[in-house]
Amino acid sequence: MSYTSFMITAGILAGFICTLLIYRERTGETAAVLALYPLSFILAVLLCRFLNWYSSSTTYETLLQALTDYSVGSFCGSGIVPAACLGGLIVSRLGLCRNRNILMDCAAPGFAIMMVFIRLSAWGTGKCQGGKNINAKLFQIFPFSVKGTDAAGNVYHRFATFFVGALLYLAMFFVLRRFYESTAGVKMKKPASRYGNVWKLMLTLYAALEIVLDSTRIDSMHFTFRKILTLNRFSTFISIGQLVPAFIFLFVFIYYFKCSKEAGGFSAKHIAAIAGFVLGLVLIGYLGEYKWQRLGLYRSYLFMTAGAALIAGVIVFLYMDCRRRKGVKQ
């Protein structure tokens, strides 16, 4: 077994055990988790291969080969989260859990610890690096950068994308565990659901991390627009790994925005939330990714990070607004 395969297997096992322990403690049941992980794994493999085929179809002879022959090509990790969400939905529809939101809340910390191993699986493979050289001596050290040698024998330093990502996912794991424990008895204002908020926080943090880190990757997957020739010029910077987090941001924002508005009525705070969300997208998309691709300015990453943090902050603000205040009848 290769190092990469070993780390991915270890990650899935770690996530499974973590989720099983939390869910069993919460509900006393195990069937839902026993079904969730194998099903989500199968869906993730298929979806990740499909996205990789779409972005680099010349690697495969046919789509069927991409979905069945794993001796060639690679995977696009952006399919992992949609597969997990779909897996939870199917498990719920099969009647294996009483509340899908509780199941996914318990799965959130497990997902984070699984991603630690998956990100570490790329360590030392040559892909754990950014696309441009780091010239600042301050950041030419571990764990910020990795050292390599080009064809001419010149030594270079590049951002250690996946190792830094592993550290951030480890931090996410502790945040989610704390959030899970602190919100177990928290009630929400109608129509917000009392359960499912830990999973939504995981989605928010995942989107915030990936929308920035994907831009640093040397192997980022991009949309090709093969059938829309007039849009081909956009395929150089519209990344699948950034668009999926963008849709996640939009989904979670709309959910909490709608719940907050229906619970207390539309007010100035909702106007501020919309403005903050739009500003975050501008910081990420224009001042961040577009400027980085066109000019290669490292400060673009500061704009992307600020934009991701702003959107995550807006979502957390709306979530807090949906929580019931003690002593107030709702």
Three-class HEC string of 26-60: HHCCCHHHHHHHHHHHHHHHHHHHHHHHHHCHHHC
So what's the pLDDT on residue 83? 96
161: amino acid identity, one letter = T
pLDDT digits (tens, 9 = 90+) for 216-263: 877 677 766 554 444 444 455 578 888 899 999 999 999 999 999 999
**Residue showing tokens 């603000």:** 317
pLDDT surpassing 80 at residue 298? no
Contact 259, 330 (CB under 8 A): no
Backbone angles phi, psi at 170, to 5 degrees: -65, -40
Closest by alpha carbon to 301, among 175, 134, 76?
134
328 confidence band (pLDDT: 50, 70, 90): very low
CA separation for the pair 67, 62 (Å, rounded): 9
Q: Are 158 and 134 in contact (CB under 8 A)?
A: yes
pLDDT tier, 22 (very low <50, low <70, confident <90, very high otherwise): very high
Quickly state the pLDDT bin for 288 (edges 50, 70, 90). confident
163 vs 306: which has the higher pLDDT? 306
Q: Residue 146: enclosing H or E segment and its boundaries?
A: strand 145-149
For the chain, the farthest-separated pair of C-alpha atoms sits apart, in whole angstroms, at: 71
Q: 3-state DSSP: the chain helix, strand, coil percent, rounded to 5?
A: 70, 5, 25
Instruction: Over range 197-212, report the average pLDDT.
Output: 96
CB 17 within 8 A of CB 3: no
**CA 144, 245, 31 angle in degrees (round to 5)?**
100
Q: pTM of the entire structure?
A: 0.90
Looking at residue 228, what is its pLDDT? Answer: 46
The DSSP string of 257-293 is: HHHHHHHH---HHHHHHHHHHHHHHHHHIIIIIIHHH
Residue 179: its H or E element:
helix 161-182
Strand partners, 38: none
Tell me the pLDDT tens digit for each residue of 168-192.
999 999 999 999 999 877 899 999 9
Task: Render pLDDT for 38-74 as a digit per residue (tens, 0 to 9).
Answer: 999 999 999 999 998 888 877 888 889 999 998 888 8
pLDDT of 129-153, one tens digit each? 666 677 777 777 777 777 777 777 7
Q: Average pLDDT over the chain, rounded to whole?
A: 87
On whether the CB atoms of residues 316 and 204 are closer than 8 A, the answer is yes
Q: Looking at residue 128, what is its pLDDT?
A: 63
Q: Which of 178, 166, 168, 205 is nearest to 22 (CA)?
A: 178
pLDDT at 327 over 50: no
- Of 43-47, 73-77, 285-289, 290-294, which has the strongest mean pLDDT? 43-47
Q: What separation, in Å, do the N-terminal and C-terminal C-alpha atoms of the chain show?
A: 56
* Spans of all domains in the chain: 187-330
Residue type, 73: G
| Whole-number pLDDT of residue 231 | 46
Please name the residues in contact with 86: beta carbons below 8 A apart, sequence gap of 6 or more: 40, 43
pLDDT over 90 percentage in the chain = 57
The reported pLDDT for the residue numbered 232 is 46
